[in-house]
Amino acid sequence: MSLQESLFRGFANPVDPSPVELRAWAYQPDSVPLESMPQDWDLLVSGDQLITTMFDLAMDPSCPARRFALHCLYIYASDGIRRKFRAHPKRRLVKLLKQAERHGDELMTTWAHNTRVLMARPELFDYHQWCEGGLVRQARRLP
């Protein structure tokens, strides 16, 4: 257990956690269960400020909150694409996609593939799959 992990004692403000707090929580998610977080917490933490942290957590197969982080990546990607990148910069998403394609395992390369499919065909967006965790629970590559 790293120093960062052992020091987690909760969020100063769960609606606006810092990257350090989020990372520490991700390695001890049972200390503050998701069920106790504010409603739609996944949507709150899927923005530009925390997406790099979420990406790092999703890239770590040993992270206990990895699936949650991956879920947030799906939310972030679909939000940017559906809003024609007015919500999030396209360059940031493309940079994350390239990293996932180069260094990610199957879960991450599947996320990158699915995101590229949605970029090419935004009409394939399905709220349940992208924003409610469907593509995380039933990992599959979109055609």
Is the confidence at residue 56, as pLDDT, over 80?
yes
Q: For residue 80, is it within any domain? A: yes
Give the Cα separation of 129 and 40 in Å (integer). 16
62-106: per-residue pLDDT in tens? 999 999 999 999 999 999 999 988 878 899 999 999 999 999 999
Predicted pLDDT of residue 86: 87
Predicted pLDDT of residue 4: 43
Is the confidence at residue 5, as pLDDT, over 50?
no
Instruction: Specify the higher pLDDT residue, 9 or 54.
Output: 54
Q: For residue 113, is it within any domain? A: yes
Instruction: Specify the higher pLDDT residue, 81 or 4.
Output: 81
6-15: per-residue pLDDT in tens? 466 677 788 8
What mean pLDDT do residues 102-124 have?
97
26-47: per-residue pLDDT in tens? 998 777 667 777 678 888 889 8
Give the Cα separation of 66 and 68 in Å (integer). 5
Predicted pLDDT of residue 32: 65
Q: For residue 3, is it within any domain? A: no
Q: For residue 11, is it within any domain? A: no
Side chain identity at residue 49, one-letter code? Q
- How many distinct structural domains can be found in the chain? 1
Instruction: Specify the higher pLDDT residue, 139 or 130.
Output: 130
Q: For residue 10, is it within any domain? A: no
Q: For residue 142, is it within any domain? A: no
Q: For residue 8, is it within any domain? A: no
Predicted pLDDT of residue 14: 80
Q: Which residue range forms the structural domain that includes residue 69?
A: 17-137
Q: For residue 116, is it within any domain? A: yes
Q: What is the mean pLDDT of the chain?
A: 89
